[in-house]
């Protein structure tokens, strides 16, 4: 509808402009011709014995001679006194106005008039001797019936309106049909898109069947579906894996409860049952906390609180809880961190990364081996390398280190090792604008490289 | 019946074995795959309860090695993996049954009981030997309609001999199936147990084959 209205308005404006141009040009031509006629009349003005006369020869200008003829004239002296008039004017007089103007005569004719002032010159040179009278000035009003011109205008007007109306009618019929036909593939496309749901994210739309203008949209939509499919698949795997991780602690709780109810127990056995329940629920709480932390970090829900953090101090704080246990295994922290190295970042999140890396080293480094942490500034970032001898990690395990729930010993069940620490640390590093990578060195050491900007973006 | 539980979760290991002992089974435990394989190769078990995700040697690898060595012990896989692919893999590795965690203890007991019956070709839990009516599921025994009360160890001995009725069962085998690693069996403990059982169920049902062992018959 808007398109139709727009076309109507456009057609109307174009038609009006065309009509205006045509009538203007025709009118100008009419006026030019009128002036030329007036000039011809002026050429016939002569002065004789100080009398100005306009006497066309009979038959030379028939348009002025017939009664109510198509052209009229009136010659007036400087004092306004009529000098001559055309027979076609009859008894009417032409008003005097400047330039070109329209006059309605008593008989109803509408006449276009031209006011032509003229100074009569005497052809006899002797009249210009000293003492002669100045040349008289006259005003010639010449007019022409506008009826043919106006009829032409009307004809043009009606023709344009008929043709325009016909064209508009065709447009009103054809535009919706054309638009409907052109949009049919888009409509089909819309139906297909509306049928996409969480279970059909593998759908991809063929580009070639749609108009070229829609290709970028379809390509973008296909890319969006690919991202959604990957995200849903990640979520599905995560949910399945998380549910799997809860099965064993749930089985433990259920077994403890059922056996406690069915089998008579001594006081010591009852106490052990409660200890078992506490141990399992503590592990489940730890797992749930890790999962929530991972989800929040991924979704960027963690709002960053930026402060200046000296790395060496935070590293020592992170190592603190593990120091005693590590010392029993002969594992010692060797910090090669210049005192001036600091980050402007979120302290709580950085603490999580350092805690996970320190905990991993304390638990998994080879007995009696050092845990070395070295930091150096590299432009606007700081690179921190965490290195320890790999007790039971092989080269092929490195690519799995950041996978969720991956553990080298897949069956280990304890309160800390859920296989999520490195995954969480890597996500946090991304949130802080950096990265966490791992590699095996030639000396069979596992090295984690944490790169963080010294300032947030 | 003697059962081996191979499960790395101490809580599950402790509580399942406690429940099985209460039900009259002799129970041995192992906390990793290697220890479980060693126990299974060393002793004759009536059934294995085997976790899949084990340290050192996973459950499916343990099972594959057992079957590869020709062991026909019935195995119930106990695992958190519940997909069809996981079940199919477990059964194709040689498992006889599959139970997903978390499970009902009652169901575990029933499945172990079924496996133990199958170990001796018994389809039904009810056995009649002479005047004795034995219900292996309900763990009851009656003689000519009168219920006979047995201790847990006596029941294990009766069950084992009843399932192998008509067969001469060597003393060493009885010892291996009745006693778990928690008990240090003495040389005549089987004879003592048979003597005590005969007094309760009546003479003539358990016969001594000198130098060979014992046989339970209804004649």
Same domain, A111 and A6: yes
Residues A272 and A361 in one domain: no
**Residue B147 near residue B141, CB atoms below 8 Å:** yes
CA distance B217 to B165: 6
Tell me: do A13 and A139 sit in the same domain: yes
The answer, for A137 touching chain B at a CB cutoff of 8 Å, is no
B38 falls in which pLDDT band (50, 70, 90)?
Answer: very high
Between positions 353 and 382 of A, the ones with CB within 8 A of B are none
Quick check: A410 contacting B, CB < 8 Å? yes
Compute and round to an integer the Cα radius of gyration of chain A.
52
CA distances B193 to B138, B152, B186, Å, are 22, 11, 11
Is A229 inside any structural domain?
Answer: yes
Look at residue A234 in the predicted model and tell me its pLDDT: 72
Number of domains in chain A: 3
Q: Which domain holds residue B12?
A: 2-119
Residue B18 contacts A, CB cutoff 8 Å: yes
Tell me the torsion sign for CA atoms A116, A120, A123, A128.
Answer: negative
Cβ contact (<8 Å) for A262 and B51?
no
Phi-psi region at A93: left, alpha or beta (left = phi > 0; alpha = psi -120 to 50): beta
In a domain, A376, yes or no: yes
Chain A nearest-CA residue for B51: A411
Q: Which residues of B touch A413 (CB under 8 A)?
A: 8-9
Residue A140 lies in a domain: yes
A372 confidence band (pLDDT: 50, 70, 90): very high
Same domain, A292 and A312: no
Same domain as A394, residue A325: yes
CA B55 remoteness from chain centre? 24
Q: Is B132 helix (H, G, I), strand (E, B) or coil?
A: strand
Do B111 and B7 share a domain, yes or no? yes
Contact flag A411-B53 (C-beta cutoff 8 Å):
yes
Question: Are B131 and B95 within one domain?
Answer: no
Beta carbons within 8 Å of B215's beta carbon, 6+ residues apart: B161, B165, B166, B167, B168, B169, B206, B207, B209
CB contact under 8 A, A251 and B22: no
Q: Is residue A200 part of a domain?
A: no
Is B101 in the same domain as B17? yes
Q: How confident is the prediction for chain B on average, in pLDDT?
A: 87
Taking the model in full, what pTM does it have? 0.58
Tokens of B9: 């979760």
Question: In the structure, what pLDDT confidence band is assigned to residue B18 with cuts at 50, 70 and 90?
Answer: very high
Do residue B111 and residue B205 come from a single domain?
A: no
In this structure, what are the phi and psi dihedrals at residue B91, rounded to the nearest 5 degrees? -70, -35
What are the chain B neighbours of A259 within 8 Å (beta carbons)? 15-16, 18-19, 105
Which among A377, A367, A316, A8 has a CA at the least distance from the CA of A171?
A: A8
> Do B86 and B156 fall within a single domain?
no
Tell me which of B71, B87, B119 is where a domain ends.
B119
CA distance A270 to chain B (A): 11
End of a domain among A267, A298, A329?
A298
Assign residue A316 the CATH number of its domain.
3.30.565.10
Q: Is residue A265 part of a domain?
A: yes
| A329 and A289 belong to one structural domain | no
- Cβ-Cβ contacts under 8 Å, A410 against chain B: 53, 58
CATH, residue A254: 1.10.287
Distance CA A394, CA A390 (A): 8
Which residues of A are less than 8 Å from B8 in CB distance? 411, 413
> For residue B73, how many other CB atoms are within 10 A of its CB?
20
Residue ending a domain, among B104, B119, B134, is B119
Residue A325 has pLDDT above 50, yes or no: yes
Residue A254 and residue B103: Cβ atoms within 8 Å? yes
Judgement on whether residues B70 and B98 belong to the same structural domain of the protein? yes
pLDDT band per the 50, 70, 90 thresholds, residue A277: very high
Classify residue A202: in a domain, yes or no.
no
| Residue A63 covered by a domain | yes
- Do B79 and B139 fall within a single domain? no
Full residue range of the structural domain in which residue A404 is found: 306-453
Same domain, B42 and B88: yes
Do both A328 and A423 map to the same domain? yes
User: Average of pLDDT values for A117-126?
Assistant: 72
**What is the mean pLDDT of the segment spanning A138-154?**
94
Q: Do A269 and B55 touch (CB under 8 A)?
A: no
Q: A149 and A8 in one domain? A: yes
Domain count, chain B: 2
- Domain ends where: B69, B89, B119? B119
Rounded distance, CA A45 to CA A119, Å?
Answer: 10
Q: Decide which of A255, A282, A298 is a domain's last residue.
A: A298
- pLDDT tens digit sequence for B185-217: 556 778 888 999 999 988 888 999 888 889 998
Domain check: are B112 and B137 in the same one? no
Residues 109-148 of B with CB under 8 A from A: none
Nearest-neighbour CA in chain B from A428: distance (Å): 30
Q: What is the 3-state secondary structure (H, E, C) of chain A?
A: CHHHHHHHHHHHHHHHHHHHHHHHHHHHHHHHHHHHHHHHHHCCEEEECCEEEECCCCCCCHHHHCCCCCEEEEEEECCCCEEEECHHHCCCCCCCCCCEEEEECCCCCEEEEEEEEEECCCCCHHHHCCCCCCCCEEEEEEEEECHHHHHHHHHHHHHHHHHHHHHHHHHHHHHHHHHHHHHHHHHHHHHHHHCCCHHHCCCCCCCCCCCHHHHHHHHHHHHHHHHHHHHHHHHHHHHHHHHHHHHHHHHHHHHHHHHHHHCCCCHHHHHHHHHHHHHHHHHHHHHHHHHHHHHHHHCCCCCCCEEEEEHHHHHHHHHHHHHHHHHHCCCEEEEECCCCCEEEEEHHHHHHHHHHHHHHHHHHECCCCEEEEEEEEECCEEEEEEEEEECCCCHHHHHHCCCCCCCCCCCCCCCCCCCCHHHHHHHHHHHCCCEEEEEECCCCEEEEEEEEECCCC
Q: What single DSSP character describes residue B27? A: E
Whether residues A221 and A318 fall in one domain: no
Same structural domain, A337 and A448: yes
Instruction: Tell me: pLDDT of B180 over 60.
Output: yes
Contact B46, B2 (CB under 8 A): yes
- Beta-carbon separation of B58 and A410 below 8 A: yes
Residue B5 pairs with which residues in a beta bridge? B29, B49
Average pLDDT over residues B32-56: 91
* B166 plus B97 within the same structural domain: no
Q: Do B55 and A262 touch (CB under 8 A)?
A: no
CATH number of A74's domain: 3.30.450
Instruction: pLDDT band for A334, please (50, 70, 90 cuts).
Output: very high
Q: Are B68 and B93 in contact (CB under 8 A)?
A: no
Same-domain check for residues B191 and B89: no
B144, two tokens: 């000519």
Position B29 scores a pLDDT of 95
B104 and B37 in a common domain: yes
- Is A197 part of any domain? no
Q: Are residues A146 and A272 in the same domain?
A: no
Give A269's contacts in chain B (Cβ within 8 Å).
18
Instruction: Give helix then strand counts, H and E, for chain B.
Output: 8, 11
* Same-domain check for residues A336 and A382: yes
Identify the DSSP state of B53: S
Phi, psi of B98 (to 5 degrees): -145, 125
Domain with residue B92: its CATH number is 3.40.50.2300
| Bridge partners, A310 (sequence order) | A342
Q: Which of A298, A328, A348 is the last residue of a domain?
A: A298
B11, B58, B100: residue with CB nearest A252: B11
Looking at residue B184, the DSSP 8-state letter turns out to be: -
Instruction: Indicate yes or no: CB of B8 within 8 angstroms of CB of A413.
Output: yes
Question: Averaged over A150-174, what is the pLDDT?
Answer: 89
């Amino acid at each position: 509808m808007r398109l139709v209205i727009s076309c109507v308005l456009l057609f109307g404006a174009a038609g009006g402009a065309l009509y205006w141009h045509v009538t203007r040009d025709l009118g100008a031509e009419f006026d030019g011709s009128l002036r030329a006629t007036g000039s011809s009349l002026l050429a016939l003005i002569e002065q004789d014995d100080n009398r100005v006369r306009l006497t066309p020869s009979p038959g030379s200008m028939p348009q002025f001679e017939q009664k109510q003829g198509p052209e009229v004239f009136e010659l007036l002296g400087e004092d306004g006194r009529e000098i001559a008039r055309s027979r076609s004017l009859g008894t009417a007089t032409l008003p005097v106005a400047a330039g070109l103007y329209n006059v309605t005569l008593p008989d109803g004719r509408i006449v276009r008039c031209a006011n032509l002032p003229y100074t009569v010159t005497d052809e006899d040179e002797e009249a210009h001797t000293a003492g002669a009278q100045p040349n008289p000035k006259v005003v010639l009003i010449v007019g022409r019936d506008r009826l043919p011109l106006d009829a032409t205008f009307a004809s043009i007007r009606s023709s344009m309106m008929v043709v325009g109306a016909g064209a508009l009618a065709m447009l009103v019929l054809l535009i919706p049909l054309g638009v409907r036909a052109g949009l049919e593939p888009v409509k089909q496309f819309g139906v297909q898109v509306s049928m996409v749901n969480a279970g059909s994210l593998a759908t991809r739309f063929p580009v070639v069947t749609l108009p070229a203008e829609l290709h970028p949209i379809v390509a973008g939509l296909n890319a969006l579906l690919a991202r959604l499919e990957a995200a849903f698949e990640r979520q599905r795997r995560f949910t399945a894996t998380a549910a799997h991780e809860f099965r064993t602690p749930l089985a433990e709780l259920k077994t403890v409860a059922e056996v406690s109810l069915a089998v008579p127990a001594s006081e010591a056995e009852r106490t052990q049952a409660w200890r078992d329940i506490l141990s399992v629920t503590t592990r489940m709480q730890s797992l749930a906390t890790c999962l929530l932390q991972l989800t929040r970090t991924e979704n960027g829900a963690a709002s960053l609180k930026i402060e200046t953090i000296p790395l060496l101090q935070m590293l020592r704080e992170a190592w603190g809880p593990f120091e005693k246990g590590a010392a029993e295994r002969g594992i010692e922290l060797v910090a090669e961190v210049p005192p001036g190295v600091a980050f402007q970042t979120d302290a709580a999140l950085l603490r999580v990364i350092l805690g996970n890396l320190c905990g991993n080293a304390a638990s998994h480094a080879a007995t009696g081996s050092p845990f070395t942490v070295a930091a150096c500034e590299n432009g606007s970032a700081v690179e921190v390398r965490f290195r320890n001898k790999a007790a039971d990690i092989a080269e092929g395990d490195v690519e799995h280190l950041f996978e969720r729930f991956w553990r080298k010993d897949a069956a280990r069940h304890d309160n800390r090792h859920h296989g999520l620490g490195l995954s969480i640390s890597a996500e946090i590093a991304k949130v802080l604008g950096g990265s966490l990578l791992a590699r095996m060195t030639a000396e069979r050491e596992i090295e984690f490289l944490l790169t963080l900007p010294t300032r947030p973006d | 019946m003697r059962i081996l539980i191979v499960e790395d979760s101490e809580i599950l290991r402790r509580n399942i074995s406690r429940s099985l002992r209460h039900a009259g089974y002799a129970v041995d435990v192992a906390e990793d795959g290697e220890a479980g394989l060693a126990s299974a190769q060393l002793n004759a078990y009536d059934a294995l309860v085997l976790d899949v995700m084990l340290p050192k040697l996973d459950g499916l690898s343990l099972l594959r090695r057992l079957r590869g060595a020709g062991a026909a012990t019935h195995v119930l896989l106990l695992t958190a993996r519940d997909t069809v692919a996981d079940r199919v893999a477990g059964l194709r590795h040689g498992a006889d049954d599959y139970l997903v965690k978390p499970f009902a203890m009652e169901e575990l007991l029933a499945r172990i009981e079924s496996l133990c019956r199958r170990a001796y070709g018994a389809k039904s839990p009810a056995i009649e030997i002479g005047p004795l009516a034995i219900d292996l599921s309900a763990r009851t025994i009656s003689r000519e309609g009168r219920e006979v009360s047995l201790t847990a160890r006596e029941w294990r001995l009766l069950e084992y001999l009843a399932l192998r009725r008509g067969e001469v069962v060597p003393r060493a085998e009885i010892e291996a199936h009745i006693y778990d690693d928690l008990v240090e069996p003495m040389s005549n403990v089987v004879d003592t147990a048979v003597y005590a059982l005969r007094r309760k169920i009546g003479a003539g049902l358990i016969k001594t084959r000198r130098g060979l062992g014992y046989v339970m018959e209804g004649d």
